[in-house]
Every structure is written in structure tokens, then in C-alpha cells.
A and B are shown apart, each in its own frame.
Chain A
């Protein structure tokens, strides 16, 4: 090995001149004279040559293997080129492959000889086997010989229209290779790219986008027509391609859509200016319209929707790509969904962690809320490498706020003790940053840091001193004590930075420690010559400052120090000495400046800002190399700002085949929006503008749908589009469908099918629009696909999934029925201000449940157990105060839980808010302002109350998705000129939806939820509570539970499901002897279960 290493060095020396002569290729490199010096090597190579020329394949193979081994070690094997290239046409596949490996490595250096192999590839390009065609193209394009550029160009063009998608994929790869070989082919290559972009195969998509990014990333216009197709294919593209496509689409979207972020406040201002000439009232109204009518471009939505599932990818790069897409493109409220997946990546390798943490660090500066729930995932482990530790620390510091700072500081305390001193020092910096950012804890932090000053480790002490210095600078008011303490420390600390910091502090605040400062100067003057340069400078500074403030005591001392400095070895110090002397010591030559010496030295200095090093990284696109390095990498493509006005979205319309996609997009959107708009149009007539836009949109949706139907039957090519659509359907066997797609043989039947499907959807959509169910945006897509699959399973009669789908159908059917009633109810509430809260009608429901349950038991025949949401049994009359009239400046607000299911979509808990005006003036424009919600929580706002007369009160409804937790939803209740922070905290009983089921089903479900999922308690029941009617009433009042009919008198059963996740919640009350009862709760949501148990206990035990 070592011998080889030696000769290798010289051989490489030989290779370089050869390279230089590339333009005029040398004679055959096997000329012995050139290699005479290395006879041993040449002999070995002779041996290889002979083997290559032998007739036996095994000898050839052996030789090739040895040659590849040489290449792998970085040794030069170029002289064997002629012998190797002869074997390019070998019949043996392995020899052939190894020859390819050799060719790709050396062809560039031996251009003339490499040409010998070209004809072989040209022949192979015409081979009937697609794999051979593909591999020939691959090798041909990898040979970097400029003479064959025309041949390559021709081959690429031909391959780009090859029948096999695999060959087309390789053509896309070849484009990049050719471009790097000869950039002058750009125009021609762009044509090929344009053609390949239209390709519908998932195999091609990733590669061609890669080529696009390489060759012509600025030709965004090529993407327009393919945008929707790319979005729809994305899920099926291989993972590497996904990354490239997502990054490209991110850039694309930033140029094509308007910002979804502006809706909050900016828009209002902008439009105020625009509407300058309009009257005030109109303007205000318009403002709100503008706010409401910001609707995301359906294509924008399409992108967000189609990338979301990729968060579940096993490939960290894909997850990161989606995360950055959401970060850069999604409305702020939606970006939160990526955090969970990013946190998941932290379990991965060290390298992945490093990159992901960097990105999280940048994100967490701007939007703390995204990662707050995962705070603990960033806790440092002692086994983490230091770079991971510091990044985690960075994130923890970014996430620190008033609420979590105490836990964080406790965590930091353990970090400071870490054996990894670099990390301990970083922790101290972090504490310093927390102290400046959160004023509540500044003093605590400062005290903690002062304690650290007595730490035994010098680096810790030094770092603390530096941080304390910075902290004191921000608020120097009353910290004389600390400065004194630090002055005492000066004797023991040897780290220069720390010493310098202390001296600086004493100098800066010398008037606060008038007695100590001169003494410190005296001590340091003594040790001046032995100090570090950094410290010397600070001694000089201290001297100068003291000279100016307390010249009587320190004049001589300062002059002594200045004299020492004058003859110092460092010119920096000599310079400084001269400068200070001229400034402070008055002499006849001193200029005008010395008058201002005091101002110069003791000017108020701005406190240093303790900032995150990730502060300004956000101008780089997340997930890029540039972001990681925090400097522009070559080839970095800037992410453009949102355009003010969206470019014409029609450019993305594709006339024929794309219409199918179009209507799905629009369908998804209208479905999402319609409920709100209808809601407004019925309650507030002024809003009808926005409603009418909604209507036209839905019309256009159905129009394009019709179009599609027609085209589906007439035009064949739409068949393929719908089949690709189908492939994204869960039901269909994806392999089969793509087989159809590629072969394109069964188009007719596909067109038939798509027609059928379209009908199914239109039917579905009609019913849904009349019943006016609301589904949230994320829900929109899934319910979409559900309905499609439902209608298909009808026709398919596939038994396998029928149980579940029928369940769903039943559910949706019921969904449709109930809310229409509520809509009316809601209207009433809004238009005629009801004075009292609605009164419940519990009686019928309480008495008849056994009957209904029996009926249900019959009809359901066990297939569906839990999803039968019943209407509420009881509506509690208890109201909670939200805003007291004193704090609300005369505006008071109460809320209560109305227990109406499905009013605002599946996951929302409906809340009725009664707002009362107790002032003697009108209160205008009451609405919900800024929301501070825990992650995942959403609020469906009530529509703003235009005006509230003095003494009047209005009840409005809103929906809150509590995510099955009892966390409070905090938001601002705003009036025209004020805003108040209010909270709604749900009692656990309100996070449930009652469910009816038979006793049998109840027992079955209960059997599955045992063990950890069961909580129970024994309670004493008050005597008046022992009758069944009372128990039912009490329980149902306390929690929104459905009554399950019971065969036994002493056992009462209640069932419900949680609003957000739909987990079953089973409650059993079993009366025992001597007025005790056993209360059992079975649920997967053990936390809620135990809270519920706690809340139910007093209900039954108290009278």
C-alpha cells in the first residue's frame, strides 16, 4: 500500500500534462518511454492488458475488477484505455458495465479513443429493450467529449419521445449533462424540457424538473400549464424527485399568488388609501369585505393540500421540503402543522438533527407558537454532541416566554453544571438573553449569574462576568452591589475577557462605586505589565475615566499607568495611551477636543442587544444550503416577494385534459367557503357582495364540471387525466390504474367511468350545498375524497370497505339533516336578540332513550357502533363570565355551551356568547381580534356585531376546536376602539358529543377499553340522588353525554365521543349498597377521562 502510494504520486504528476494537452490528444499513452521510470507499474499494467485481450471472459472480468479497484483508490489507470475500450461491445453484462464505469471516468482525457465506443451506444439506442436504450443513453451522455455533442442532442431528442417513460427519464438526466458540457445548446434543450414537462409519468416528473432547475430556472412560464399536473402527481413521484419539485413549486408560487399573510392588518390599511374618496361608512364596510373576500387562489390551495401528506414521508429531505413550503407559502395559521413532523425528525441521525434544528431555530424566532408545545423535545441530553446541544439551547432560548421561563431556567441550571464547558458557557449566554427578553425574570437571572461567579470553573465565571456586564449595561440603575462584588472577584479571575469586562464596568459606573474604583485602579496599575493586552486597554480606560471624574485621587495613578502604556510592546496600547493622554491631560497644545473629554469617555452607551445568531437567517429560503451556511451558496435562487397583484391565474388552465383537475380544486374551495358565506348572507345583508362571489364561483365550478363531462365522452385524452386522478384515490388499485394510464388502451372505459364519477360528485355536491354543512379547510379535501369513494363503492359493490363507508354515509346523512334545523335557530338568535338563554327540553330525551336505542340496535345490526351522534339531551343553563363590565369599559360578555353538534364542523364545540352593552353609548363593531391559541386549536369567529345599542344585548355563536384538551382559548374581544383579552375554558363535559348505542354495543366497546383506559372511583351518593331519573339528569347536566338504555335498575350507562378526535367516552354509574356508587369511565383519552371522573364525583355526592 505504501509503495503504491509513492508511485501514485508520481503517476499523478504524469497525468497533469496529459490533461493540458487535451485539445490536441497525445499519441497512444502506452508509449513505454513516457512511463519508463515506473517499470514495475507498467509491467503490472502489461499484465492487465494481456488479460483484457485474452479470449476468456473470466480473465477480462478479473482485469476489469482490478482496474475498477484502482479507480476507486484514486490511482491512474488511463493508459489502459485502448485495451479497455475494445471490450465495450462485450456480450458479458458485467464486463460491459465495468467498461462503462471506466469510460465515464477517463473518456474526457482520451477523447479520440473514446469515439471508438460511440457507435456501440448508437446501436444500443435503437435496441428494442427499453432498459438497454436507457443505459446506452446514460453512458453516452456521461462521456464528456465535446465532439459528440450533436450526437447526444439527437439522442436526447429521440429519447424524449420514446414510448418508455424510463427512457424519457434518462433523457431528462441527459439534458443536464449535455448542458454542462455545452451551454450553447440551451435553447434546444429548453425545447426538450418543455416537451418533457408535459409528460404525465411520475417517473419523468422529478428528473425533468431537476433539468429545468439546472438549465432554465428563470423560465417560470414553462411551468404554468404543468402546475396542476405536477401538484397532482406529486404524491406518486419518487422521493428525490419530490424534494426537487417542491422546492421549484415554492419558488413558482411566490411569483404567482398573492400573499396569504396580509389578511390580518396590512390589507385594511392598503385599501384605506385606495378608497380615499369614498365616504367613511362605505369605506369601513368595504374594509371588512376586503378582509373577508381574501380567498386563496384554488391553485395555491391545491399545492398546500397536495404537499401536506408528504409530511408523513420517511425521507427527511421531503419532510423538510414540505415544511419550508408551508413556511413560505401557507397562511400563518396553517404553518403550524409542520412542526410535529419536524420534531419527529429530531429522532434521526446527528446530521439530520443538525440541519433540522437550524431550521427550527430560524422558525422559532419569528413564530414562537409553532414549537411551544414541543418545548420538551428540545431538552438537551448529556449524550448529544456539542453542536446539537448548542442548537437546542438556541431554540429553547427562542421559545422562552413568561409562562415557561421558570421551568426553562431550572433546566438551564443543570446545563450550567455540564462537563462540556463550551456548552456551559453557551448556557450562560442563553440565560443572559432570557433575562433581557423577559423583564420579569431579569433580576432572578442576574442573581443566578452572580451566584455563578463563585463557581470553581473559570470559563463559567468568565462567561458569567461577560453576560452580567451586558445585563448591567441594559439597566445600570441600581446595581452598585453587584459591581462591588465583581470588583472583589478581580483578584481571583484570570481569564482576560472577564477581567476586562469587570474593569470596563467599574470604569463606566465609577461614580456609583466612588470608593472602590480608585482602589481597583491602584491594584491593576501594580500588575499592569503582566496583564493581557485586552486588560491593559481597559486599565487605561478605567484610568482615563477616573481621571475625569475623580482627578484628585487618581491623577498620579493614571499618569503612572499612562507612562507604563507608553513603553508597552503592543503598538495598540501605545496608540491608545497617546490618544488618552492628549485627550485628558490638559496641556498648551491640546486641541478643542479635550474640553469634551468627559463627554467622549462617559457618554451614554447603548446597551448591547443580546440577539439570536439566527436572527437574520430568514432571508434565505429554509432548508437550503445557503440557510445552513448563512451565506449565499453558488446557484442559490432567491425566493421572490409576493406579488401585489396576482398574475393572471388563467395561464394555468389547460384546455382539454386539465379541466378535470380544475373542478376538483374549485369544488374543494367552494365547499370550504360556502357555509361561511351563506351564513353571512342570511344574517347580514350588507355582506351579499361576498356571498355573490361565492355563488358565482360555485357556478363556475359546476360549469367546468359539465364541460368535463362532455369532454370526457368526446375527447379521449381526458381519460388519462381522470385515471391519474383515480390513482390518487385510495380505493383503486394504483398499479392497475397506472397500467391503464401508460398503455392508454382502455381510455374509452375510463372516460365512461369519469363521467359516472362526475355525476356522483355533482349529486353529492348538490345535497351538500342545500344542507349547508360546514367543513373546515383541512376537512374539505378528505370529505371530498370520501364522497367520491362513497359513490363509487355504491357501484362497485366492493364488500371489503362497505362496512366503514356505509357508516360514514349514515353519518353524513345525519349531518345533513340536523344542521339545517340549527341554521334556522341560529338565524333567530342573530336577528331577534333573545334576552334569555335558550331553555332545554330534556324530558322527552330522557324518557325515551331506551326505545330509540332499541330501534337503533335493530337497524344497525352491529355494523356501526359509535358514530351515531345524537342531539343533545340537555342544555345547561349555566353561563360563565367572559368579560366583566368593569374591565370591559361597560361591555360585558358571558358565554355558555349550547351543545349543538355540527354547527361549525366536526371538531368545533359550539359556544354562545352574549354580549351586553351597559354603557349609555352605542358600541360599534364588536368582533374577535387577535387569537392566542395553543397549537392545533381553532376558532370559528362569530360575525362582527355592527352596533350594540345602550342597554342592549346580543347573543352570537362561535365554534372552538379545543383539540380535546381543557386548555383555555384566549383571544381578544375587540370593539371599534378597544380590545379586551378574554378566555374561554371548557369544562371537560363540554368536549363531548353524546352518542347513542345499545347496551350490547356499550359492553362490547367497554370490553375493549380496559386496563390503562379505565378509571374508576367509589363515591358516596347523597340520598336524594339515588333515583335513576335524578342521576341521569345530574350526569347529563354535568357533561354532554348520551344515555344508554340499561336493563338493570342500579346501573346507568352514558356514552359520548370527544368532539375533536371522536374517541369514545363510556361512563358507568353503578349504585351499590349503603348509598355508595361505583363510577367507571372507559376511554382512550385517559387524561380527559380522569378529569371527567373528577368532575362527576361531586355531582353525585352532593345534594
Chain B
């Protein structure tokens, strides 16, 4: 499976797998270990993008060229892991180290040659994926293939000699304009380009996250306080573990250089906070006020965890009865979801997913509300409930068909539940006020609260 070719080796390497026939070139594989290239550089050497079927559809080298054959080690690890989720992020090969991330069905595999903090690379690769997402609306193979030139230009700007250079999306957007339908039409006619002809000034200033000369006719600042409840609830319905994690995502469209400060009614709730680099840390330390010059556009202002001392109110409860009869090929399934402590707000967008045991063949259920699907291949039951009204509790029950002869599953499957509550931050966090300094106009301000289920497991 592996191609361990020494320098000068001309062996026709055995086909590593039938997935990737075009990588089978003997000379290429030798080049990887070619001693001629001096390879003492640090940080990220090359990047390969690989799709789920094992095609390398993009490669970029920041230093000398590393052959694609290095990815064979990765494919080997992938095969061993069975599940994509279990591919180890760090793989050691004789001459290189491979650090990879898996995002949106694409593996970003970076080639490293020397000691480097692995998180540094992982974090950077995610930033690259984020940037693609930001530019093309999705980080899919087709989007990348369609915009291969922009991708190349972006990668060129983001990394210099393997060391991150410009990773702030505000700067990148000044350097390389994101594609829009209108612009691509215009470009095709006029032959003009996506490359910005203005030079990025943000990179030179001490606020690299904000581009200069922003102008809007409507000045708006929106903040979304989004909280997620992570919980593990045991069979009896008591909470094993519950925690609230929140983020404040902002969409700021303000002209000039606004200096904002955002204060909370109850900042003490925020136990552990991580900030966007624009936030002045000292000010938070001393006054618990978020003071910052915002980037332009969408960004995540802070993410936080609510202090664990406060008890977490769990907004829904689930009554479930799943039983499999011994020596019989059927079982019963009965689940009811109801609201609990929702502070007068409706629980919406409720979706329940259950990974049924392997022995389950099919399920015959009736739902009083919403619709359910059962995928017999992945054994995943999905029940899209929708809104919960306290008057009529949604219920799903029926018969489970088991593989005959198979032993009875030992454990009841765990239920994963998603839901949404609008206009409520479950921790009780409230934005007090937003002040703006530095500019004269009056911005339109808005705050939205949403509570969601994070990793919510029964």
C-alpha cells in the first residue's frame, strides 16, 4: 500500500487504491523524498484538498513541490479509521507530517516538515475553510473548483512561506473581491478582474481587522445573542450535565471608524469569554464593558460560557419508552416531548434524531405531529416535530422491526434533540446599551436573542 521509494528509485509503485488511479506515477513519488530540495522550512509546506472519494482536486505549494504521493499515507490512515470522523488529525510519515481537518466533506491535508504547534496548523486550516465559506457561500468541492483562481489567490495571500500573512477577511476582501453574479457577468464582458486595484491599507494599521473608507447610507449594527444548551440527561430525566454556551454574532455596517461599547445588564453571568481581537481586554477586565472598533460586516464578537454555578433551566422534557422483546423480532417505541421552563416562549424547530441499534430493520410509527423518516442504511430515525404547544404534546409511537435471530440490543439508543427558542437567552443575559463614539451619525441598533439546543442528549 505504501510507496516507500528511496531517491532515484524507479519502481513502478503498486496502485495504492483503485480510487485514485491518476496518482500512480513512479517518478513523482521519488520526487517527494528527493534530497535535492532543502527542506528545513517551518510551518505549512503544502496543502492538498481531497474529496470524499479520494480525489486530490487541488494542491498548493508554498515552498518546493511535494509530490501528491505523500497523501497515500493519509489514505492509508483513512482506510484504517473506517469512519471519516476517526481519521487522526496528525499523521506521521517518514519525511513529513500530515495535519488534516475535515470540513464539509473535504479533507484539507497540510504537509509539515518540522516541529510546529499542531493547533496552529489546524486553526489556520479552519480559517482557510472559513474564508472559502465566506467567499463562495459554501465550502464545497464544486465551489472551489469553479473559483480555482480566486482560491489560489487567496491561499497566496493567506500564507507567505508557510507562515500566515493576511487571515482577516476584511483585508482579504480588499485584496481580492469575492465573486458575485453581477460582477462575474461584468467581468466576462469587460475583462476586468476580481483583484482589487486599491491597495489594502488595513494591513498597515494597528486595526488590521477593519478596512478603511467604509461607507453606508443606512448605518446599522445588529447583534445576535445565540445561546446553546449542552446537556446530558439520564434515563430518569435528571440532568447529568448541563451547560450554556453562547456567542454574540454581529453584523455591523457602519461608516467610518466607529468606536463601539456594548454593556450588559448582568455581565457577571459571563464566566469564561473569548474575544474577537478587536475587543479591548483591559476595559473588559476593569469595567465589564465590551469596547471595540468593529470589523466591517459579519463577525463573531465574543463567545462565552455561563458560569457553572447557575443552574441551567432545561426547556423541554422527553418521556420515552423504547423496549425490545427478548426472542422476538419486534419492539415498542413511544416518545413524547413536552415543554418545561420555557419562560413563556414557544419552543420551535424541534427535531429529534435517534441512532437506532444495528439490529433494527425498520420502524413503523405514527406521529401526532410533524413527520418522521427512518433511514434503514444508517439506522437513523429523524423526527421533525416543529413547534411544541403545551395543549397537545407531540407523540411518536409504533413498532420497531428487528432483524430476526439477532440478539436483543442491550442498550436503549440515546435521543438527540434540537430546538430553538426565539427572543430568549436562556441564561438571562441581557444587553444593556450600545454606545458609539468617533462618528456623528445615529446608527440603527438591534439585538436579537435566540436559544438553541447544542449537544442535547437524553
A and B, one complex? Answer: yes
Instruction: Report how far A649 CA is from B125 CA in the complex, Å.
Output: 40
Please report which residues of chain A, range 57-79, place their CB below 8 angstroms from some CB of chain B when the two chains form the complex. Answer: 57-58, 61, 65, 68-69, 71-74
Q: Which of A180, A316, A728, A1086 contacts B311 (CB under 8 A)?
A: A1086
The B-contacting residues of A in range 124-142, CB under 8 angstroms, are: 129-132, 138, 141-142
Determine the distance from Cα of A436 to Cα of B251 in the docked complex, in whole angstroms: 55
Does A838 sit within 8 A of B, measured CB to CB? no
A918 to chain B, nearest CB (A): 41
B153 touching A101, Cβ below 8 Å: yes
**Is B336 in contact with chain A by the CB < 8 A criterion?**
no
Measured CB to CB, the nearest residue on chain A to B209 is A238
Given A214-B41, A347-B245, A381-B232: A144 and B191 interface contact (C-beta under 8 Å):
no
Decide: B204 and A314 in contact? CB cutoff 8 A: no
**B60 neighbours in A (Cβ, 8 Å):** 72
The reply to whether the CB of A240 lies closer than 8 angstroms to some CB of chain B is yes
A1012 contacts the other chain (CB 8 A): yes
Which one of B158-166, B216-224, B317-325 is at the interface? B158-166
Asked if B97 contacts A629 (CB within 8 A), the reply is yes
Cβ of B450 < 8 Å from any Cβ of A?
Answer: no
B114 in the interface (beta carbon within 8 A): yes
B56 x A74 contact (CB < 8 A): yes
Is A94's CB under 8 angstroms from B120's CB? no
CB distance from A646 to the nearest CB of B (A): 27
Interface 1/0s, chain B 256-271, versus A by CB < 8 A? Answer: 0101000001101101
Q: Are B206 and A738 in contact (CB under 8 A)?
A: yes
Q: In this assembly, does B61 line the interface, its C-beta being within 8 Å of a C-beta of chain A?
A: yes
Q: How far is the CB of A143 from the nearest CB of chain B, in Å?
A: 12
Residues 28-63 of B at the A interface (beta carbon under 8 Å): 28, 30-31, 34, 36, 38-43, 56-61, 63
B280 on interface, CB distance cutoff 8 Å: yes
Contact across chains for B153 and A734 when beta carbons are under 8 A apart: no
Residues in chain B near residue A1099, CB distance under 8 A: none
Contact of A240 with B193 in the complex, beta carbons under 8 Å:
no
- Given A68-B149, A314-B300, A314-B303, is A105 in contact with B117 using a C-beta cutoff of 8 Å? no
Contact A730 B309 (CB under 8 A): no
Decide if B274 touches A789 in the complex (CB within 8 Å). no
User: CB distance A321 to B117 under 8 Å?
Assistant: yes
- Annotate B61-105 by CB proximity to A: 1 below 8 A, 0 otherwise: 101110010000000000000010110111010000100111000
* A142 touches which of B65, B89, B161, B287 (Cβ 8 Å): B161
Q: Does A36 contact B (CB under 8 A)?
A: no
Complex contact A316–B123 (CB within 8 A): yes
For residue B173, give the distance in angstroms from its CB to the closest CB of chain A. 15
Report Cα–Cα, A965/B310, bound state, in Å: 12
Contact call A93/B25, Cβ cutoff below 8 A: no
Question: Smallest distance from the beta carbon of B150 to chain A beta carbons, Å?
Answer: 10
Q: At the interface, yes or no: B181 with Cβ under 8 Å from chain A?
A: no
B411 touching A9 by the CB < 8 A rule?
no
State the interface size on chain B (CB cutoff 8 A): 124
Q: Is B22 an interface residue (CB 8 A)?
A: yes
B118 CB contacts on chain A under 8 angstroms = 355, 623-625, 628
B42 touches A635 (CB 8 A): yes
Q: Which of B318-345 contact A (CB under 8 A)?
A: none
Given A130-B204, A317-B119, decide whether A240 and B163 contact each other with a Cβ distance below 8 A. yes
Q: Does A931 sit at the interface, judged by CB under 8 A? A: no
Q: How far is the CA of A57 from the CA of B428 in the complex (A)?
A: 59
* Cβ–Cβ contact A623 & B245, under 8 A: no
- Contact between chains at A210 and B163 (CB < 8 Å): yes
CB contact list, A29-69 vs B, under 8 A: 56-58, 61, 65, 68-69
Which residues on B sit within 8 Å (CB–CB) of A97? 153, 156, 195
For B24, list chain A residues within 8 Å (CB): 9
- A214-B457 in contact given A101-B153, A312-B281 (Cβ < 8 Å): no
Segment at the B interface, from A383-391, A526-534, A585-593, A671-679: A383-391
Of A19, A202, A356, A1061, the contact of B268 (CB 8 Å cutoff): A1061
Which residues of A (389-435) have their CB < 8 Å from a CB of B? 411, 414, 417-419
B272/A340 in contact, CB under 8 A: yes
With an 8 A cutoff between CB atoms, is B416 at the interface? yes
Q: Of residues B60, B281, B311, which shows the largest number of chain A Cβ atoms within 10 Å of its Cβ?
A: B281
Q: Does B355 contact A (CB under 8 A)?
A: yes
Interface residue? B142 (CB, 8 A): no
Contact of A236 with B204 in the complex, beta carbons under 8 Å = no
Is the pair A625, B116 in contact by a Cβ cutoff of 8 Å?
yes
Kindly identify which residue among B27, B120, B410 contacts A417, using a CB–CB cutoff of 8 Å.
B410
Whether A625 contacts B31 in the complex (CB less than 8 A), given A69-B148, A419-B357, comes out as: no
Assuming the contacts A317-B117, A350-B85, A1087-B309, asked whether A180 and B38 have C-beta atoms less than 8 A apart, the reply is yes
CB distance from B292 to the nearest CB of A (A): 10
Interface assignment of B184: CB less than 8 Å from any CB of chain A? no
Question: B residues within 8 A CB of A456?
Answer: 407, 410
Q: Is the CB of A12 within 8 A of B163?
A: no
CB within 8 Å of B: which of A218-241?
Answer: 235-236, 238-240
Asked whether, in the complex, the Cβ of B266 is within 8 Å of the Cβ of A419, the reply is no
- Say whether B123 contacts A315, CB under 8 Å: yes
Across the A-B interface, how many residue pairs have beta carbons closer than 8 Å? 313
Minimum Cβ distance to chain A for residue B391 (Å): 25
Question: B42 near A176 (CB under 8 angstroms)?
Answer: yes
What's the least CB distance linking B26 to chain A, in Å?
A: 8
Are A312 and B148 also in contact (CB < 8 A) when A320-B119, A735-B207 are? no
User: By the criterion CB–CB under 8 Å, are A239 and B277 in contact?
Assistant: yes
CA distance A383 to B85 in the complex (A): 10
- Specify the chain A residue showing the minimal Cβ separation from B194: A94
Instruction: Given A382-B355, A387-B86, A417-B411, decide whether A734 and B280 contact each other with a Cβ distance below 8 A.
Output: yes
Q: With a CB–CB cut-off of 8 A, which chain A residues contact B148?
A: 68-69, 72
Question: Do residues A180 and B193 form an inter-chain contact, with CB atoms below 8 A?
Answer: no
- B296 on interface, CB distance cutoff 8 Å: no
The reply to whether A624 and B282 form a contact with Cβ atoms under 8 Å apart is no
Could you tell me which residues of chain B, from 117 to 161, have a CB within 8 Å of some CB in chain A? Answer: 117-120, 122-124, 126, 148-149, 151-153, 156, 160-161
* Contact B89 A624, beta carbon cutoff 8 Å: no
Contact A733 B259 (CB under 8 A): yes
**Residue from B83, B191, B305, B407 in contact with A58 in the complex, judged by beta carbons closer than 8 Å:** B191
- A491 at interface (Cβ–Cβ under 8 A)? no
Any B CB within 8 A of the CB of A150: no
Q: Is A15 an interface residue (CB 8 A)?
A: yes
A386: chain B residues within 8 A (beta carbon)? 83, 85-86
**In the complex, B113 has a CB within 8 A of chain A:** yes
Say whether B115 contacts A382, CB under 8 Å. no
Map CB proximity to A onto B347-374 as digits: 1 under 8 Å, 0 otherwise: 0000000010110000000000000000
Query: Which residue on chain A has the smallest CB distance to residue B195?
Result: A94
A138, A319, A355, A626: the one contacting B115 at CB < 8 Å is A626
Query: Does B185 sit at the interface, judged by CB under 8 A?
Result: no
Does B200 touch A at the CB level, under 8 Å? yes
| Chain A 725-766 near chain B by CB (<8 Å), digits 1 or 0 | 001111001110011000000000000000000000000000
With a 10 A CB-CB cut-off, give which of A170, A312, A354, A800 has the most chain B CB atoms. A312
Contacting pair B120 A317 (CB below 8 A): yes
Judge if A634 is at the interface, Cβ distance under 8 Å.
yes
Are the C-beta atoms of A1085 and B309 separated by less than 8 Å? yes
Known: A105-B61, A108-B64. A344 touches B38 (CB 8 A): no
B17 within 8 A of A: no
Given A210-B163, A1086-B311, A314 and B117 contact (CB-CB distance below 8 Å): no
Chain B residue, CB-CB nearest to A64: B149
Q: Is A166 an interface residue (CB 8 A)?
A: yes
Having A173-B160, A735-B206, one finds 10 other A-B pairs with CB under 8 Å, namely A19-B31, A93-B197, A235-B281, A312-B275, A314-B277, A347-B245, A419-B358, A457-B410, A633-B115, A1061-B268
Q: Which 10 pairs, one residue from A and one from B, show the smallest C-beta to C-beta distance?
A: A58-B191, A635-B114, A730-B282, A5-B22, A94-B193, A385-B85, A417-B411, A16-B27, A94-B195, A730-B283
- Could you show 15 A-B contacts with beta carbons less than 8 Å apart? A58-B191, A72-B58, A74-B56, A166-B203, A170-B160, A313-B277, A314-B275, A316-B119, A320-B119, A351-B122, A379-B240, A387-B88, A735-B293, A738-B205, A785-B282
